[in-house]
Structure formats: structure tokens, C-alpha cells
Amino acid sequence: MQLCRSVERLRQELAALTLQGETLALVPTMGNLHEGHLSLVRAAGRLADRVVVSIFVNPLQFDRAEDLAAYPRTLEADVEALRRLPCDLVFAPDIDEIYPDPEHTTRIHVPGLADVLEGASRPGHFDGVATIVAKLFNLVQPDVALFGEKDYQQLLLIRRMVRDLDFPVEVVGLPTVREADGLAMSSRNGLLDTRQRALAPALHEVLAEVAARLARGEVDHAALEHEAEAALEARGLRPDYVRIRDAEDLSEPRPGRPLVVLAAAWLGSVRLIDNLRVDLNPESQ
């Protein structure tokens, strides 16, 4: 496994990796790898001949400087974990390598999806996401790229960008990997103290209750959202939002279409997100 810190070295190694026409998978990450990331890498090894994992804490997608500063950097441990997996190359550039002039770099905006839910709570966040993913697609030129469904809005946004800009990349989303108590695995979980960690599974539990009520036929979405936010607050979290949306484009729900319940909530200074899809017509499968 090769570790590349520069674009020039990356291009040299990629040329060697794909010399015989091998297919290439990319798993973009910000490091501090957990089982959710590692499951993406294993899946990548099944989908392509060669696997590249990027590790880059992208400053453009952080709306708060303190959040960027607090994000864990664990490159040495990440590289060691990846050595045991089907990973051929790790691309871990410094900020200057990706953004020589970050204040004036070209940014990509995906209208609609970038401006609601997470985009409304974190202005500019998805412009940063779209920009770094587009840069990685251009640099690595993968055949397939893998993302987790925990960041559901991000996954839809990247698929839209790929469609609109004609990137020749298949975007694959994999189910959220959870702890035994249901908490979605996230690099931010390590920032929770003992008390907060005990409270955190409530986010998934409240989402599961909303999903179950939707599956039973409840249709007053506004009431369900309000009750879910109240339930989170009662259980020690500070809700940002709970919203029920169309699962394919995050628009307002329409009859007969699959739904997704999305939520964000704070525990102290740590912001957690989660989601659950809801199939209203399971018998049709």
C-alpha cells in the first residue's frame, strides 16, 4: 500500500496501478476511521480491482472554526488500519496541496439540495463538500466511489452533481453502520463525554419511532416532526431539526413515494445527524 501526500505522486502511482486497465474505486474520508469507513473500503475491494482511500480534513465544509480545529486527526492509526484491508493507495494531502489559494478557489454549488436541512443549518457546508469531491474525482478518476448513507443528504447531493456535470463515476451508497445501541458510527462520537454518549442513542430511537408511525399510516408529518423534536429535548438532546422528506430528492413528501426521516441534534458542542428511510409499500417489493 502506497501513501501519497502530493498530487504529483498520486498521479504517478495511479498510472502504475491502472497500467493494465484495472478498475478503480475511491473512498473519500476525512480520516479518524471507524468501522463505517472500513466497511466502505471492504465493499470497494469487491467492486473494483484497485482501491484508493483519501484522507483529507476539508476546511471548506466546516462552518465553524472551532469545529474544524477539534476534528480528530489520526493519520498514523488510519494508515495502519487500511494496511489490513484491500486498499492500494492512501491519498493524504496537506491543505496547501488541495487549496493553494483557499479564499479564491473555485467552488461548486448544487442548487436546492445544498440549501435545505443541513445546508440551511450549516451555510456553505455542501459547497465545500461538492468542491472537494469534484476535485477528488478529477484527481483520482475512479470508476466507482463509495459513501455512507449516514450522510444521506450528502449522498443525494453528490449523485446530483455527478449527473449534472457528467462525471463518469458510479456513486454507491452503503447502509449506515451502527453501534450495538443504535448510535450511527461517526468520527464525532469520540468527542462525546460519558454522559453524552449515554444519551446519544436517543437520536436513533426517536427516528425509529417516527419511521414506525409513518409505516403504520400516520400522515400528519408536521405533528410527527414536532413530537419528535420534543422527545429529543426531553431526553437531553438539543434538536436542530427533525424532518420527513421524499427519499429521492428531499422535497416535501408526496403520496406513494418513499420517505426518509432526517434529524440533527446537539449534545453539548457535538452535533449528531442520523436518518432512516421508510418504505410505505413493502408488499410491492
pLDDT per position as a tens digit, 188-219:
999 999 999 999 999 999 999 999 999 999 99
CB 188 within 8 A of CB 270: yes
Active site amino acids: 37
Give the C-alpha separation, 27 to 173, whole Å: 11
- Sign of torsion over alpha carbons 14, 168, 277, 203: positive
List every span in the chain annotated with CATH 3.40.50.620: 2-174
> 187-276 belongs to which CATH class?
alpha beta
Give the C-alpha separation, 72 to 187, whole Å: 8
In this structure, which amino acid lies at residue 200? A
pLDDT number for residue 52 = 98
* CA 116 vs CA 35, 126, 166, 252, 266: distances in Å: 29, 10, 24, 11, 18
pLDDT number for residue 284 = 43
List every span in the chain annotated with CATH 3.30.1300.10: 187-276
pLDDT surpassing 50 at residue 285: no
Give the C-alpha separation, 200 to 236, whole Å: 9
For the domain covering 2-174, report its CATH number. 3.40.50.620
Question: Which pLDDT tens digit goes with each residue over 222-250?
Answer: 999 999 999 999 999 999 999 999 999 99
Give the C-alpha separation, 78 to 31, whole Å: 7
| Residue of 116, 28, 43 lying closest to 86 (CA atoms) | 43
pLDDT number for residue 65 = 86
pLDDT surpassing 90 at residue 113: yes
Query: How, if at all, do strands 2-4 and 89-91 pair?
Result: parallel
Lowest mean pLDDT among 65-74, 128-137, 179-188, 195-204: 65-74
Kindly report the average pLDDT of the chain as a whole number.
95
